[in-house]
Amino acid sequence: MKYVDEFRDHDLAQRLAATIAAEVDPGRDYRLMEFCGGHTHAIFRYGVQQLMPPRLRFVHGPGCPVCVLPMARIDQAIALTERHGVTLCTYGDLMRVPGGDRRTLFQARAEGADVRMVYSTQDALRIAREQPGREVVFFAIGFETTTPPTAVALEQARTEGLANFSVFCNHVLTPPALAAILAEGARIDGILGPSHVSTLIGTAPYAFVPEQHRLPLVIAGFEPLDVMQSTLMLVRQINAGTARVENQYRRAVSETGNRKAQALMARVFRVRERFAWRGLGEIPESALELAPEFAAFDAERRFPVACAPTREARGCECPAILRGEKRPTECRLFGTGCTPAHPLGACMVSSEGACAAYWSYGRTRAQVATG
């Protein structure tokens, strides 16, 4: 496949692996955090970790929007369908995520709720147009990358006067989450920075990472060769003792990002004062809500639902895993009480979560055998 195979080339991978192996200092550890679930997925799916020298380890960050979504928001979504009788449009991977009382949108649907799996915001708009008599709510989720499509849908709905369409907004922001993890003193030596998010926001918002934390950050594409090249760039910075923001993903990311999309986001959204992240707790100014001009399309204002507070499963190590302090296998629930089919913790609920990736791709005969 053109423009894809080039970034998954076996021989180039071997050469990069050899270069990394030759350049690492055998006397030290390299703990590199990949922020995004997309990187985690690529590392596991292509087996990148096995190509790395033994003391270079990828530490999996919190950049998986489904993983960090608080369980209470699932409860709220279920309540929207059951108490307010709305048609809820959602991406498929949210359907399996258990809320506070372990119920999922799949279960709610089986019990009669009108939950539709969609592939884009445009599908949700179409459903709203086709069913003028029904309230249609789009369950919006994701980092900066997925925010413009939601904004476009909202502007379209306003232009068309689509009064039965609204958005349950759960969009979150990358830099505040990264800042929160680093402020807690995560033990890492460098960061593989977001790729798709950075196409939107550019490289400038990461300047605080070297300035305040003396850590190198390389914006890295999601293909396995991107990850390996970025790893080499981080290794070189670590060896040289420098801390800069570098951009490996030059084919898509600029310093200033996508100004048009930024302007669109500024029109449609505003920053929430605070938002609770699953596994990380409350982080100030880390999420978006609809701007007052779009209040009529804000599902939270139109259909207020109060939900009971939620509690994480006992023994779940997701907070420590999301901060890079522990590995999935260091959680006693991993693979016993908690599997992709029956996820208990945040990192197991989405295929991009660290625990799910570890379970689905990362087990090896040797690793599992030694626990």
- Binding residue (CB under 8 A) for other proteins from 17, 36, 178, 268: 17
Q: Distance between CA atoms of 108 and 183, rounded to whole angstroms?
A: 39
Contact flag: residue 208 with other proteins (CB under 8 A): no
CB 230 within 8 A of CB 218: yes
Contact flag: residue 123 with other proteins (CB under 8 A): yes
- By rule CB under 8 A, what string of x and - marks binding of each residue 209-228 to other proteins? ---------------x----
Contact flag: residue 51 with other proteins (CB under 8 A): yes
CA diameter of the chain: 68
Between 153 and 180, CB nearer to other proteins: 153
Between 4 and 308, CB nearer to other proteins: 4
Single-letter amino acid code for the residue at 261? A
Between 46 and 334, CB nearer to other proteins: 46
Single-letter amino acid code for the residue at 293? E
Q: Distance between CA atoms of 318 and 266, rounded to whole angstroms?
A: 32
Residues in the chain, how many? 371
Task: List the structure tokens of 64.
Answer: 């998986």
Q: Residue 111 Cβ, how far from other proteins at the closest point, in Å?
A: 17
Q: What is the DSSP string of 285-297?
A: T-BEEE-GGGGGG
Between 256 and 364, CB nearer to other proteins: 364
Tell me which stretch binds other proteins (CB under 8 A): 240-248, 278-286, 289-297, 358-366.
358-366
Between 1 and 308, CB nearer to other proteins: 1
Contact flag: residue 260 with other proteins (CB under 8 A): no
Cα distances (Å, whole numbers) of residue 205 to 174, 178, 342: 9, 11, 37
Residue 324, Ramachandran bin (φ over 0: left; ψ between -120 and 50: alpha; else beta): left
- By rule CB under 8 A, what string of x and - marks binding of each residue 80-99 to other proteins? ------------x--xx---
Q: Tokens 């779940």 — which residue?
A: 316
Residues 322-341 that bind other proteins (CB under 8 A): 339-341
Contact flag: residue 359 with other proteins (CB under 8 A): yes
Give the start-end residues of each E strand in the chain. Answer: 30-36, 56-63, 87-90, 115-117, 136-142, 165-171, 190-193, 217-219, 245-247, 269-271, 274-277, 281-284, 288-290
Between 27 and 119, CB nearer to other proteins: 119
Q: How many residues bind other proteins (CB under 8 A)?
A: 37
Q: Distance between CA atoms of 1 and 16, rounded to whole angstroms?
A: 22
Contact flag: residue 256 with other proteins (CB under 8 A): no
Helix axes 147-160, 259-268, angle to 10 degrees: 60
Q: Distance between CA atoms of 179 and 58, rounded to whole angstroms?
A: 19
Q: Residue 309 Cβ, how far from other proteins at the closest point, in Å?
A: 27
Contact flag: residue 63 with other proteins (CB under 8 A): no
Q: Distance between CA atoms of 195 and 218, rounded to whole angstroms?
A: 10
Contact flag: residue 368 with other proteins (CB under 8 A): yes
Binding site for other proteins (CB under 8 A): 1, 4, 8, 10, 13-14, 17, 44-51, 92, 95-96, 106, 118-119, 123, 224, 339-341, 351, 356, 359-365, 368-369
